[in-house]
Chains A and B, each alone.
Chain A
Amino acid sequence: MASVKISRLDKAYGKVKVLHQLDLEVDDGKFVVLLGPSGCGKSTLLRMVAGLESVTGGDILFDDKRVNDVHAKDRNIAMVFQNYALYAHMTVRKNMAFSMRLNKTDKKTMDEKVNWASSILGLDDLLDRLPKELSGGQRQRVAMGRAIVRDPDVFLFDEPLSNLDAKLRVQMRTEIKDLHQRLQTTTIYVTHDQIEAMTMADEVVVMRGGYIEQSGTPMDIYDNPNNLFVAQFIGSPTMNTLECQVAEHNGVKVAAIEDTMLPLPGDRNLQVGQKIFYGIRPEHFQITPQSVSAGSQPGVAGVVRVVEPTGPEIHVYLTLAGQDLCAITRDRLELRPGDNIQLQPDLAHVHLFDGESKNAI
């Protein structure tokens, strides 16, 4: 096992720069997820760590040893690819034993390791099959088996679950996390799926356009996004971000969208007239049907557009002063499209972002 340190890493293809001065530290045994939309450079970064892409500038260190110029085969890493990349002409057993065959491990150790990996991954009965005789999930497991028999210093996963169907994805997610807890190998995992990132990671690194936007524990990133992009990228349904202007109403600063006034948390430094984004997650609204509140409750008025019951909760999509937003309630409310409701934002969970810089205020 090893720690991975990336310092001032640059990557350019010709004149096109795709990664800009990245700094990242992955402690020994940690599970770090690189998260971002496609084209953000997360896969490129992973492939540079793997040694499959050259380094334009900066350093990659494994346990403080610079590995920029070390060939992929000598880095003692294991990688699981999005499309599995199994050796189609070899059985599951041979696929898993391939790396050991290359470094001339003796047959007994080889068998022991393959059996150990296959029992962990539930591949015991499939060892003599060819990849084409396996289902998607089984193939993905073989790819993981091929990785774990190597006893690598670092595990690299490049969107390993994105080719699986939804149910299998959830199952494999748990299996990968379980595997990491058992093996405690340093892991870097790339995904564009924020749920995967949230559920699996010790640390999430959110990337965009070749920059790291924010890194931290999943809950830290969820609760304290640095900027509008991170706020909107993490969370499902996504955070509501309403475009407003700071105004003064009865001597108190409020966020105004036309005539609608939203209360602001008092501890922020805001100027009247400043353009801001008013961010609040769907679960941080208190919904009251208008009939109940009868106008007496403080809050803002919205009109229901769509109601989506999910079982444990109800997702309510509504229009507030011409802007769309989503609210979640666990109350069993009888709501219909067109209903007027009162919304009370939980001020402790309101995020404000500057209208210009889009950074958190």
Chain B
Amino acid sequence: MVTGKFKSTLRYLVSMLVVCVFVFPIAWFGLTSIKPISAVFNKDRVVVFDFEPTFENYRVTVLGGLKSDTKSNSSILMGTSGEGAYDGRGSILSSLVIAICSTFLTTIIALLAAYALSRLAFRGSQGYMHWILSQRFLPPIAIIIPLVFIFRDLGLRDTHLGLIIAHTLINIPIALLILKSFFDDVPIEIDQAAMIDGASRFQCFYLVVLPMIKGGIAATAVLCFIFSWTEFLLSLFLTNSIRTVPVKITTFVTSTGSEWGYISALGTAAIIPGFIFILLVQNHLVRGLTMGAIKD
């Protein structure tokens, strides 16, 4: 039993260590967001807790307040001049709209496609799956230039809709693959039983199989949301005036200095919507929903 106890202690210690490794940067980031500039940049020592907390950074970035001092004029040089150059409210709203819409769109399209690929055999379905997977081989940067031109010609550049479509395009393959594996977990006899009970193919999908993979749908939606929420490259190239949070934050980095306070404040605030989204769906993030359907 001694070894058992030792094992569990070790396991506990290692897991705590892993948690620390992952949590530390976020905690430090959060801490920086409430530090005065003198505590962020201190030549003599690293300031951890002994500073006077300030919500100035949040006031400017999240609440849209005016920058209280003019300790640097770098913003003027970099074109982030003017009132509200550090106001992140519009960005948060844009990011939310784009992430929610693209997640919704991706999930709907991927669900229908994944069900079809899981249940309906057609000539070349295997090759089709590989083709879909191959869409992820290419890094987005490789397609960004044609995409910019296409979107410009279609009038989608610098629109919310454009970015929603772009994120949906990038997300569909991975969402499709994940959802297909969840559909594959549901035995085909369930569909057949439903059809014998008088269900059409769509009723079978909608009334029987879909509720059985709720957990998988939630997990996929979370992934899509997080991808869209943190996506940088497409947002940077496809928009000018609409700035998603990641792009907005980069405008705080200028050639004459980085506004670490604002960066960390907006960055910390940006964690919250994703966090709320995950909280909302985490009840569904349980596997084994199909338990009891068949003899295990």
Contacts and interface: CB of A to CB of B under 8 A. Distances in A.
B193 to A, nearest CB: 4
A99 B189 CA distance: 16
A50 B293 contact: no
A83 B289 contact: no
B292 A88 contact: yes
Given A81-B189, A102-B203, A86 B292 contact: yes
Interface in A130-177: 130-134, 136, 139, 146, 150, 163
Nearest to A130: B292
A255 B212 CA distance: 63
A162 to B, nearest CB: 9
A79 B295 contact: no
A306 to B, nearest CB: 34
B13 interface: no
A89 interface: yes
A77 B293 CA distance: 21
Interface string A54-81: 0000000000000000011101011101
Interface in B256-296: 289-295
Contacts of B189: 81-83, 85
Contact of B289 (A72, A82, A84, A89): A89
Interface string A83-116: 1111111000000001100110000000000000
A81 B198 contact: no
B108 interface: no
B293 A84 contact: yes
Given A73-B198, A79-B192, A79-B196, A131 B293 contact: yes
Nearest to B191: A85
B116 interface: no
A84 B197 CA distance: 14
Contacts of B295: 82-84, 136, 139, 163
Interface string B129-159: 0000000000000000000000000000000
Contacts of A73: 195-200
Interface of A is mostly: loop
Contacts of A136: 295
A83 B188 CA distance: 11
Given A72-B192, A87-B190, A89-B212, A99 B292 contact: no
Given A81-B189, A102-B203, A87 B198 contact: no
A134 B207 CA distance: 22
B78 to A, nearest CB: 55
Interface in B210-227: 211-212, 214
B53 interface: no
B211 A98 contact: no
B208 interface: yes
B65 to A, nearest CB: 49
B187 A83 contact: yes
Contacts of A133: 292
Given A52-B192, A85-B187, A88-B212, A146 B292 contact: no
A150 B187 contact: no
A102 B206 CA distance: 12
A72 B195 contact: yes
Contacts of A50: 192, 196
Contact of B294 (A52, A75, A85): A85
Given A52-B192, A81-B189, A86 B293 contact: yes
A72 B192 CA distance: 9
B236 interface: no
Interface in B163-194: 187, 189-190, 192-194
Contacts of A150: 197
B294 A132 contact: no
A102 B198 CA distance: 7
Given A52-B192, A81-B189, A87 B293 contact: yes
A134 B292 CA distance: 8
Residue with the highest number of chain A CB atoms closer than 10 Å, among B190, B193, B194, B291: B193
A85 B193 contact: yes
Contacts of B196: 50-52, 72-73, 75, 77-79
Given A87-B212, A102-B203, A81 B292 contact: no
Contacts of B200: 73
A87 B212 CA distance: 8
Contact of B211 (A83, A89, A163): A89
A85 B192 contact: yes
B292 A98 contact: no
Contacts of B214: 89
Given A102-B199, A131-B291, 11 more contacts: A72-B196, A73-B200, A78-B196, A79-B192, A79-B193, A84-B293, A87-B190, A87-B293, A88-B291, A99-B197, A136-B295
20 contacts: A50-B196, A51-B196, A52-B195, A52-B196, A72-B196, A73-B196, A73-B200, A81-B189, A82-B295, A84-B295, A86-B292, A88-B212, A89-B212, A89-B214, A99-B197, A102-B198, A103-B198, A132-B291, A132-B292, A134-B292
Interface of B: 187, 189-190, 192-200, 203, 207-208, 211-212, 214, 289-295
Among all A-B residue pairs, the 6 with the closest Cβ atoms: A132-B292, A131-B292, A88-B293, A85-B189, A83-B294, A99-B197
